[in-house]
Amino acid sequence: MTKLYDLIAANTQLVYVDGATGKHFRVSDFKHSLLLEPQPGLAFLYIDNSIAAIEALLNFLDSPYTIALLSPKLNITYKQQLEQLYRPCYIYDPSRTAVEGFEAIARLFRNMAQTGYPIHPDLKVLLSTSGTTGSPKFVKLSEHNLVQNALSIIDYLPIVHHDVSPLTLPVFYSYGLSVFTTNSIAGGQVVCTSRDVVQKEFWEDLNRYGYTSIAGVPYVYEMLHRIGFCKKEYASLRYMTQAGGRLSPVLAKTFGEYMAARGKQFYIMYGQTEATARMAYLPPEALLNKAGSIGIPIKNGRFDIGPDTQELVYTGPNVFGGYATGPAGLQTFDHNTVLYTGDMAEKDAEGYYYITGRMKRFVKLFGTRVNLDEVESILKNALNGVTLACIGVEDKYLLVQHLEALDVSAIKQLLSEKLQLHVSAFRIQQVDEILLTPNGKVDYTAMQQLGLAEKV
């Protein structure tokens, strides 16, 4: 079986750049630098995108350990609860100087009890299903999942050995992890940085290092639009990618036209953590004619649509091995190739797929079932891609939360006409910020709590 680490180490052009200092490192510079004990076990890595975190990640990828990738910003109480439940052999967490029951060894904390338990040999990476609440539920991924998905992504993205790619998304998030794996296997320089597009330092680094790609979730592109990205030129940039949720067709068209006019490419992609990262992509040349589409399945993947539910069903070698909610769950790995996505979809005559809604993102108003994702799409298209969130409040009303000053009566009237519901079914609330998960997605649970806490 091909290991992810071996594919990365085989890339002789690969250099990791410390975004803060500009210093270069090769994979061989990191090899065995943490002196891990050569035995199977579980490791918790609370990693950011720093060069030190990437060094730790590479060391554990080149070891028998199963690794759980977690947000370093996770509340300390949640960290401790997870550690007490799973009892990892090692913890990587630069934010702490001590961990009870662990001894500090070479930038790691080692479990002094060393009370191991069986872990399935195919289980390599655990990704959290919740970036903020410290849920014990993990998605289980194998080396095969990671390798197959990375190779499928490399098959359609124009990654080359002279690329300079920043880690603009958290590596503990499946999208960010896929940016890391694909560019490590096929790229040139990977810039280890935690700076994001709203910081002026990010743009200074873009010019300093000559970034050839940018990856972002919908919120990132909404921010790029707000700061006037498309009014400037970026000589080094060759392509951009978007995943992590549906980008409004208005913004998809805006960025697609901007890139195409300059002979560059904009890739819209679709995926879930349970599929390691990607399941579909929209070829840039089809973007302007297929705005709103998730595109076509990746290499070695296939879609079907449930005849009764309209649920999108994916089949491919990147489908996860089930969930774990505790140590017992680490002893099994389901070699399943079918994933029920929970998304409803339709396919056009040319084989392009469109997500029509999330099976659980609904609210029932006056007896009418309303798709909240569809409402967001309607508003973002009508309002030129503004940042907003639509929340269902106990089947009583639909709450629209927005950042910018908007015409409340016009929004209510638009929704009333589109959904054939009385204007009293809608509440409009201006907020100071749209709360996000560490993955950069709208945190609908937190936004709903905010809506309930404030009078609207």
Residue with tokens 């401790």: 80
Residue 342's contacts (CB-CB under 8 Å, 6 or more residues apart) are 311, 358, 359, 360
Model confidence at 134, in pLDDT bands (50, 70, 90)?
Answer: low
Model confidence at 131, in pLDDT bands (50, 70, 90)?
Answer: low
pLDDT of residue 132: 53
Domain range summary for the chain, segments of one domain joined by +:
1-357, 362-453
Of 119-133, 136-150, 218-232, 269-283, the range with the lowest mean pLDDT is: 119-133
Q: Which of 218, 198, 212, 339 is nearest to 268 (CA)?
A: 218
pLDDT of residue 161: 97
Q: What is the CATH number of domain 1-357?
A: 3.40.50.12780
H helix intervals, 31-106: 51-61, 76-86
Please give the mean pLDDT across all residues of the chain.
93
Element (H, E) at 401: strand 397-402
pLDDT of residue 381: 86
The model's pLDDT over 327-342, given as tens digits with 9 standing for 90+, comes to 999 999 999 999 999 8
The model's pLDDT over 428-438, given as tens digits with 9 standing for 90+, comes to 999 999 998 88
Model confidence at 239, in pLDDT bands (50, 70, 90)?
Answer: very high
Model confidence at 223, in pLDDT bands (50, 70, 90)?
Answer: very high
pLDDT of residue 142: 98
The model's pLDDT over 369-381, given as tens digits with 9 standing for 90+, comes to 788 888 988 898 8
Mean pLDDT across 293-320: 96
pTM, two decimal places: 0.85
Dihedral over alpha carbons 153, 158, 160, 164 (to 10 degrees): -90
Mean pLDDT across 245-272: 95
pLDDT of residue 437: 83
Assigned CATH class of 362-453:
alpha beta
Model confidence at 303, in pLDDT bands (50, 70, 90)?
Answer: very high
Structure tokens at 162: 């002279």
Q: Is it the case that residue 222 has pLDDT exceeding 60?
A: yes
